Chains A and B, each alone.
Chain A
Amino acid sequence: NAGVMQNPRHLVRRRGQEARLRCSPMKGHSHVYWYRQLPEEGLKFMVYLQKENIIDESGMPKERFSAEFPKEGPSILRIQQVVRGDSAAYFCASSPTYTGELFFGEGSRLTVL
């Protein structure tokens, strides 16, 4: 039973480019969360999705960031026109239920040059 799979593990982008981070939740999990960890900080909630629905995006920056979890395929966190401040580790987590335990992926580390 594979865990939460994130790819790419490492991504380097130049300022102004787009970054796409993918997350496949654990089998049977329909609740997906994205968290961001800036250097020397704790993880910060960004967005909570279920299949085809964004449930709570209160932690997402208002511009340039978007997330989706389509009926088929992985959840995607998209960052347009990246800036240096977007450099961080982005963690995806999934759970089987609304209140179920979170299982985290290994993270995607974005570096913006």
Chain B
Amino acid sequence: DQQVKQNSPSLSVQEGRISILNCDYTNSMFDYFLWYKKYPAEGPTFLISISSIKDKNEDGRFTVFLNKSAKHLSLHIVPSQPGDSAVYFCAAPFGGGAQKLVFGQGTRLTINP
């Protein structure tokens, strides 16, 4: 049962433009969401999170939007830079406060110069 889904396996964006990565979820009990970034042969690193009581959280070039009625969140990166090329995972904690996370399948973002 895939509770968190990223339906786009890959995305290609021109440098300087906006990158939008999408994530859908099925479990309405999730109370916050996280985005992780992963380079090849490295572990995921935390990027940004959002609580379910908010609809937007911004950190520099990165903004996450949450639409609870649609069970959808998105990560916006603007302007996109070559160093943003990576795989992005959305995730949500399940089973209590501990960091048991359920991850989406990931979206590979490529920023073209």
Chain A positions within 8 Å of B, measured between CB atoms, are 4, 31, 33, 35, 40-45, 48, 55-56, 58-59, 91, 93, 95, 98-107
Taking a contact as CB atoms under 8 Å apart, the answer to whether B99 and A40 are in contact is no
Interface string of B63-87 (1 = CB under 8 A from A): 0000000000000000000000000
- Beyond A43-B101, A91-B43, A93-B99, 7 extra complex contacts between A and B, CB < 8 Å: A40-B105, A42-B91, A42-B105, A43-B89, A45-B100, A102-B46, A104-B43
In-complex Cβ contact of A105 among B43, B91, B102, B103 (8 A): B43
B95 at interface, CB cutoff 8 A: yes
Residues on B with beta carbons closer than 8 Å to the beta carbon of A102: 46, 99, 101
Number of A-B contacts (CB under 8 A): 65
| 9 cross-chain pairs, A with B, having the tightest CB-CB distances, nearest first | A104-B43, A42-B103, A43-B103, A99-B97, A42-B105, A102-B99, A45-B100, A104-B44, A106-B43
B29 at interface, CB cutoff 8 A: no
Interchain residue pairs with CB less than 8 A apart (22): A33-B99, A40-B9, A42-B4, A42-B89, A42-B105, A43-B91, A48-B99, A48-B100, A55-B98, A56-B100, A58-B95, A93-B99, A95-B99, A98-B97, A101-B99, A102-B99, A104-B43, A104-B45, A106-B41, A106-B42, A106-B43, A107-B43
